[in-house]
Amino acid sequence: MRGGFGGFDIWKCERESESALWGEPENMGSSINSTGDELYPYIRKDGNLYFSSDFWEGMGGLDIFKAQKDEFGIWQRMNMMYPVNSSQDDFGIVFQGKREIGMFSSTRDGGKGGDDIYSFILPELELNVAGKVIDKSTAKPIEEASVTLIGSDGSIKETKTKSDGSFKFNLSQYIDYLVVGTGEGYLKKKKRFSTNNIIDDTTFVSNIELITISKAVEIPNIFYDFGKWTLNESSKTALEELAQLLEDNPNITIEMGAHTDMVGDSAANMKLSIKRAESVVSYLKEKGYDSDRLVARGYGENRPVAVDEKLALTDTIFVEGQVLDQNFILAFEKDKQDKINQINRRTELRILNTNYIPKPEYFLKYKKNKMKFEENLN
């Protein structure tokens, strides 16, 4: 019909319910249709589209393509390749529900003549997620931590970590997953992954670092321009993880504390650290997090690092319990001094309270996300 790209095009119609009237046809667009022929559309329960085309990059004649929407909602197509496709016409693929079993038609050599129907079966993949739950500040495994696996198919699995902090779950294909780790005295941490585009046996490695509630924890990879409080572009990943931490733990209030080294004037260092802490808090506020949950505090050079077991393993100059103060630093050559000063320059997270009651906006957002998740299940 008019409005297409030429030849046969694939169009779609939508309706609000099974009893409602169909809307006007809409062309599937240039990601699917071409100046050639696009035919035999089929949509699986996972939302992926299958169709045949004699135009897009192929093996000859009509080839079967799989199309899947990316994170921006744009269809991305891929040729199904051999043995589904051949140098002849291949078309009309259908699947048995969510199983990798189905049929398609082909005029390939070796048939009975003309268009023949072929069946196929793809053995189920061996899919797993495995990892360890680790204390972020000490890098030690957490035994008996709780790990929950939530799938977009409605599945929920739970386990406890072993003595080495390890856990493992079996997975299914074409599912979006959420892994939630938590433990007594720790904040909750979530990780997301998907088996949608996996074509080989795969074990996802997903280590979960939990932040303790009892003491301040350094947030690594937060950088500022030299002598300034402007957040560096390299800090983006760390800041997004920090925002996700607030999202995963809606009942906490936090202090962001910035620390400088001993170089320069102490008053200037104090002012600089305050500005740096405020920069992090401002970023979180811009992301929509309630200012009542956020406190910015600068410590200047007044709270040098006390060596813990993890730091003591990095260099023989460090002894557990040693404070990296001015007297300690000045006993070394300049290269060692620079290394120690770098350790003292840090941004830390400290949990102030775990009883914060979110404002109504949070529950509205949560309800909206839950409804969206349930729609995906259907």
Cβ burial, residue 244 (10 Å; 0-12/13-18/19+): middle
pLDDT at 364: 64
pLDDT at 366: 54
- 276 alpha-carbon distance from chain centroid: 27
Q: Where in the chain is the domain with CATH 2.60.40.1120?
A: 127-212
Mean pLDDT of 215-237: 86
The DSSP bridge pattern shows strands 127-135 and 208-210 to be parallel
> 373: pLDDT confidence band, cut at 50, 70 and 90?
very low
The percentage of the chain sitting over the pLDDT mark of 70, rounded to a whole number, equals 95
CA distances from 132 to 139, 191, 290 (A): 11, 13, 32
Looking at domain 217-362, its CATH architecture is 2-Layer Sandwich (3.30)
Q: Where in the chain is the domain with CATH 3.30.1330.60?
A: 217-362
> 111: pLDDT confidence band, cut at 50, 70 and 90?
very high
Give per-residue pLDDT as tens, 119-165.
999 888 899 999 999 999 899 999 999 999 999 888 999 999 999 99
pLDDT at 48: 92
pLDDT at 355: 92
What is the CB neighbour count within 10 angstroms for residue 187?
23
pLDDT at 60: 92
Rounded to an integer, what distance in angstroms lies between the CA atom of residue 354 and that of residue 184?
13
pLDDT at 131: 97
Question: Mean pLDDT score of the chain, rounded to an integer?
Answer: 91
Cα-only R_g, the chain: 28
Domain 127-212: top CATH class: mainly beta
pLDDT at 363: 59
Q: Which of these ranges, 23-27, 194-198, 237-241, 321-325, has the smallest mean pLDDT?
A: 194-198
Rounded to an integer, what distance in angstroms lies between the CA atom of residue 221 and that of residue 207?
18
